[in-house]
Amino acid sequence: MKDQHGRTIDYLRLAITDRCNLRCAYCMPAEGLSWLQRDELLSYEEIERLLTVSSSLGVRKLRFTGGEPFVRKDFDRLLETVARKKQFESISLTTNGVLTAPYIPMLKAIGLHSVNLSLDTTDRERFKTITRRDEFNAVMHTLDGLISAGIPTKINAVIMEGINEDALIPLALLSKTLPIDVRFIEEMPFNGQGKRHAHRYTRQGLLDALEQHFGPLSKLQDLPHATSENYHVAGHRGKIGIIAAWSRTFCGTCNRLRLTPSGQLKTCLYGKNDLDIKALLRQGFSDEQLAQAITDCVMHKPRDGREAEALNVPAEESMATIGG
């Protein structure tokens, strides 16, 4: 499956819920969100059917996101079912870690490829301020469990000036003794308010701050389609990465699709909803018709996030409604 720019599209990020048990400031407001009702979400049966069609179109990499995936009842059973079908080369998960720890043996048993764990500080009180919840210990328990189980783990952190900029180096230092990747993501405007706080922690600002502490970082060879620029610090077991989600320096090699919790297919994070998959499923489209609709939609994938943003209304969604 290729787009109009000749790129092979083989990676699907599927958000199974918009609900979350945290209220991170860069993702959503403290209150006022209207959650989707159950019938507005794709059912697990609809998800399984969509994944079968996606696999037939050449999707090889699948990531489950939210909201927080484990907030949705029986998500663990869906994971086991999808893994058992062996339709994808890799299945990964993005989670905030609050509810994840009890499921780690299952994640190990199904051969989960990796986990992205959201963590924006190593300080419990600062964690409460950022997330508006006191769940730091639960998240750290999950991190310890993932490492003990040998599941490849990446920490995703957003550094915000005046809020948690002092967390940058302590988070980076986790890669010294732990076999994990610590990745810093530029803040985006998907916070339910459509505003991005201008500050110095862009891609270059993050790199400058890291090198001010560690000295020049050793650039590693990035994998094809990687969203992060990866670096090594001498003596560290893990790696440090920077994801230029606002600068969008990686857009040219994008191989991704997103499915929102309401069943909307997005060919670009910064673009509009491109195809109502849920409607097609519930209108009785055959697998062949669904595959053709997806293929046609992918053909119009924009060149990059700048082009998509220019064609879209200003972003006002919460990341939880798009798929984190």
Mean pLDDT of all residues in 80-97: 98
Is the confidence at residue 226, as pLDDT, over 50?
Answer: yes
Question: Which pLDDT band holds residue 320 (cuts at 50, 70, 90)?
Answer: low
Q: Which helix (H) or strand (E) covers residue 79, if one does? A: helix 75-85
> Could you give the percent of the chain with pLDDT greater than 70?
89
Query: What average pLDDT does the segment 74-93 reach?
Result: 98
What is the average per-residue pLDDT within 169-175?
97
Sign for the CA dihedral angle at 137, 209, 164, 324 comes to negative
**Gap between the Cα atoms of 294 and 291, Å rounded:** 5
**Whole-angstrom distance, CA of residue 45 vs CA of residue 26:** 32
Domains of the chain in sequence order: 11-322 (3.20.20.70)
Q: Kindly state the average pLDDT of the residues 138-154.
A: 98
pLDDT of residue 191: 47
Question: Which parts of the chain are beta strand (E)?
Answer: 11-15, 61-65, 90-95, 114-118, 153-158, 181-185, 218-219, 228-232, 239-243, 256-259, 264-266, 275-276
Q: What is the pLDDT of residue 16?
A: 96
pLDDT given at position 84: 97
Going by C-alpha positions, the residue among 100, 104, 102 that lies closest to residue 119 is 100
- What pLDDT was estimated at residue 251? 72
pLDDT tens digits for range 272-298: 888 999 999 999 999 999 999 999 999
CA distance 194 to 26: 10
d(C-alpha 175, C-alpha 138), whole Å:
20
Which of the residue ranges 2-16, 176-190, 243-257, 292-306 would you say has the lowest mean pLDDT?
A: 243-257
| 323 vs 177, higher pLDDT | 177
In this prediction, residue 313 has a pLDDT band, given cuts at 50, 70 and 90, of low
Q: Counting beta carbons within 10 angstroms of the beta carbon of residue 304, is it exposed (0 to 12), middle (13 to 18) or buried (19 or more)?
A: middle
User: For residue 183, what are the β-bridge partners?
Assistant: 156, 241
Q: Is the pLDDT of residue 315 over 70?
A: no
Residue scoring higher pLDDT (152 or 200): 152
pLDDT of residue 129 exceeding 70? yes
Q: What are phi and psi of 224, to 5 degrees?
A: -55, 140
pLDDT of residue 197: 54
User: Which of the pair, 232 or 315, is modelled with greater confidence?
Assistant: 232
pLDDT in tens, 201-217: 888 899 999 999 999 99
**pLDDT band at 248; cut points 50, 70, 90:** low
Residue 13, pLDDT > 90, answer yes
Q: What value does the mean pLDDT take over residues 160-177?
A: 94
Token pair recorded at residue 132? 């508006």
- Whether residue 266 is predicted with pLDDT greater than 90 in this model: the reply is yes
What's the average model confidence in pLDDT over 126-147?
Answer: 96
Average pLDDT, the chain: 89
**pLDDT over threshold 70, residue 57:** yes
Confidence tier at 35 by pLDDT (50, 70, 90): confident
Token pair for 131: 């997330």
* 320 contacts 18 by C-beta, under 8 angstroms: yes
Question: What's the whole-number mean pLDDT along residues 79-85?
Answer: 98
